[in-house]
Structure 1
Amino acid sequence: MATSVTDRFLRYVVIDTQSDAKSSTQPSTEKQKNLGRLVVEELLEIGISDAHLDEHGYVYATIPSNTAKNNVPVICFCAHMDTAPDFSGTNVKPQVVRNYQGADIPLPGDPSQIIRVVENQVLKDLIGNDIITSDGTTLLGADDKAGIAEIVAATEFLINNPDIKHGTIRILFTTDEEIGRGVNKVDLKKLGADFGYTMDGETAGTIEDETFSADAVEITIKGVAIHPGFAYGKMENAIRIAGAVIARLPKDMAPETTKGRDGFIHPTGVSGVMEKATLSFIIRDFTEDGLKSKEALLEKITKEVMEGYPGSSYTFTVKEQYRNMKVVLDRHPEIVDYAVEAIRRAGMTPVRGSIRGGTDGSRLSFMGLPCANIFAGGHAFHSPLEFVSSQDMEKAAKTIVELAKLWEERA
């Protein structure tokens, strides 16, 4: 299975599928459909007759049931086609380091980019593997083209091995996951699945049933504008007010100073002129209470700063992004239990984890499709130092096959 997973992956990563948060369309970039078309073509070649691309750039497909049992739940496997706007995804030139021997990996396109073992301890577990990287001038796109390659490879394996019994399996490839809109237009009725798995995690063997809960906050400050020559005692500069809010954010509540189960307040954008300034934030925490208390703290800081500017005003807008999927998954423990068993059967030691981020699975869980997240094998996402092991992608494809078998066995 390894060659087919790797060959597919190498085909997918050279297609630029970067999403764009500034665009209001779905998909946010038309180029995401280029990968969708290729994947549909491959699925049709494998023998999946209903594979198709819809107007929003989603790929839907079905592996028909081949078991006499009629009570097997319909399982969905999901991955996203877009790459993050954080770093260029144009003109990706993948390289394969065969039979990796444990040294730092310099990237040929930019000598300053080196994948260092000291910063990526997981490399010690990948000695002897084939490691795929970019050339250092772009990201690689293992997030989440590895997931797509794994699902397509597992599909081919199941179609070619009809003696492996399984229920109906639905495939869903989404657009715009990286900008938080991955499942906005998913038709769950058309999908018709009972449970799902996103193939969008990192280290081999990991199963994640918990994500951050996430909100966005926008603060708009209206200052008092006047000619600077006549400003004494009158001007209230919105840019200065915005700067004062940022200066008072707690240093120990930032992404760069938190880990594990600690959440954060993270300013993601600031723009303004003298009379009006806008601050954008993302707020993250594993609990609803933690989220609310961080939002209350941010508003308190803003209020206190504004007290020094009596002529100015502000608005504080909170927008829900996604919620911790654990709330939903705890009601369906078999979803995670079967994944743990499938990972074990595929030859790994399962590791339960929490995601300091979100996946399409967070949103799908709350839309009515309970969805856990399984490893795809990639590391150092959203950066030019991104890498993935061929063997880990093969293990992920194997995990999908084992999961299909398990749901049929236990029905």
Structure 2
Amino acid sequence: MNINRERLAETFVLLCETDSPSRQEGRMAKLLKDKFSQLGATEVTEDNSAAQTGSQCGNLIIRFDGSLDLEPIFFSCHMDTVEPACGIQVKRDGDMFTSAGETVLGSDDKSGIAACIELIETLRENRIAHRPLEFVITTCEEIGLLGAKALDPAYIQAKEGYALDSTGFAKVVTQAPAANRLTITVYGVAAHAGLHPEWGVNAITVAATALSRCPTGRIDAETTANFGTITGGAASNIVPEKVVIEGEVRSHQLDKLHQVTQEIEQACAAVAAEWNDPTGQAKGSPTIDVTVHNDFPAMRLERESKTIHRVEEAAKRIGLDLTYEKAGGGSDANIFNGYGLPTAIIATGMTNVHSTNECCDLQDMVDLTRLLISLSTATTI
């Protein structure tokens, strides 16, 4: 099947140059609703997730009836981009797209959306029979998968699908870790640092002791822990009374996720319990509160699963060799799998994402579109 390369390129540039940083996806949502409606969508729905996410719009669920008597599948992308993402101008050099300025390109995840649009364009103009299709396009993915978390899965009729959202190409992600988000709040006692420092309890030094005892970095091949931000204190002449540390634990194994999280909680509790006042004049003692929030569930698809077998066969039909990988990050696919909707992640060709060096190759988007057509038209799976 020949893909209209220049139409795909024009669509991609239009999408990238339509600003849509997280929570500011309104213009992008309108563009997509108009475009998919023009392409004959059976149903275009915007949910009410904006009330939870704070976005300008909700998630989009777009449905196309199929002429093949097969189960529907869905393709998922997200419409938001990381900053800096306003005033994007796309520079094209042959088949390579980059940002012309000091912004990201936006191929994360507009390369996936562009391929979805070209999929429908191609099916429609060539009158190709296909299975029922759904497109689930979320908001606020880049700031914690918020759109997917706020989506009512009852909107999705398909029972399985594919998230088009990974770097590289000809790659399928079959596993990704679960994550716990941690907020560690250390309470000390404020005092004047010059007049009566012995009256105070320095929350920063208590926090430092606690962090020194916590597991961090690469724990094993499946597990990581990180402390990413620390804030606290009011002035250099005040013994700091409060410190807040934000961190996370990720693992492909739930028992390891719970174990490392528990080790951090125990380390913090021990530091607070063991503290002693060197002068005997402190106006109190430290406490440490650890709040654990399950950020996203693990995803794991076996190679023998129908979802993976289908994409494997679809790739073979077009002569594409796929690799299968385990990821270290989370995506909307984690959330969909948590809803009981098996979802594999397909790479779209985007490279150097989350940076101003981001780029994307047109040929990768062309081949992605070919793969989506093959997935949509296969009559055996």
Map 1:64-143 onto structure 2 (within 5 A).
Answer: 64-67=65-68, 69=69, 72-84=70-82, 87-98=83-94, 130-135=95-100, 137-143=102-108
Residue matched to 1:360: 332
Aligned partner (choices 259, 264, 269) of residue 298 of structure 1: 264
1:32 deviation in Å? 0.4
State the alpha-carbon separation in 1 of the partners of residues 276 and 327 from structure 2. Answer: 40
State the alpha-carbon separation in 1 of the partners of residues 358 and 263 from structure 2. Answer: 35
State the alpha-carbon separation in 2 of the partners of residues 221 and 309 from structure 1. Answer: 16
1:261 deviation in Å? 3.5
Map 1:12-411 onto structure 2 (within 5 A).
Answer: 12-19=15-22, 29=23, 31-55=24-48, 56=50, 57-67=58-68, 69=69, 72-84=70-82, 87-98=83-94, 130-135=95-100, 137-162=102-127, 164-180=128-144, 181-249=146-214, 253-254=216-217, 258=218, 261-273=221-233, 274-306=240-272, 307-308=274-275, 311-326=285-300, 329-330=301-302, 333-406=305-378, 409-410=379-380
State the alpha-carbon separation in 2 of the partners of residues 189 and 249 from structure 1. Answer: 41
CA contact (8 A) 1:62 1:169 kept: yes
1:154 deviation in Å? 0.6
CA contact (8 A) 1:74 1:192 kept: yes
Give the 3-state SS of the residue equivalent to 1:183 in structure 2. helix
Structure 2 residues without counterparts, runs of 5 or longer? 51-57, 234-239, 278-284
Residue matched to 1:4: 7
Please say which structure displays the higher CA radius of gyration.
2
Residue matched to 1:119: none
Give the 3-state SS of the residue equivalent to 1:338 in structure 2. helix
Structure 1 residues without counterparts, runs of 5 or longer? 20-28, 99-129
Q: Which amino acid aligns with 2:333?
A: G
CA contact (8 A) 2:303 2:309 kept: no
1:13 deviation in Å? 1.0
- Percent of aligned positions with the same letter in both sequences? 26
How many matched pairs?
355
State the alpha-carbon separation in 2 of the partners of residues 259 and 343 from structure 1. Answer: 35
1:166 deviation in Å? 2.1
Q: Which amino acid aligns with 2:299?
A: M
State the alpha-carbon separation in 2 of the partners of residues 44 and 95 from structure 1. Answer: 29
1:5 deviation in Å? 2.1
1:267 deviation in Å? 1.5
State the alpha-carbon separation in 2 of the partners of residues 343 and 132 from structure 1. Answer: 25
When the two chains are superposed, the root-mean-square deviation of aligned CA atoms in Å is: 2.1
CA contact (8 A) 2:96 2:361 kept: yes
1:302 deviation in Å? 2.1
State the alpha-carbon separation in 1 of the partners of residues 356 and 231 from structure 2. Answer: 28
CA contact (8 A) 1:62 1:171 kept: yes
Q: TM-score, normalised by structure 1?
A: 0.81
CA contact (8 A) 1:215 1:322 kept: yes
CA contact (8 A) 2:191 2:197 kept: no
Name the stretch that deviates more: 56-65 or 379-388.
56-65
State the alpha-carbon separation in 2 of the partners of residues 369 and 216 from structure 1. Answer: 23
CA contact (8 A) 1:136 1:385 kept: no
Give the 3-state SS of the residue equivalent to 1:184 in structure 2. helix
CA contact (8 A) 1:83 1:178 kept: yes
**Structure 1 residues 260 and 91: alpha-carbon distance in aligned structure 2, compared to 1, 3 A threshold:** farther
Give the 3-state SS of the residue equivalent to 1:398 in structure 2. helix
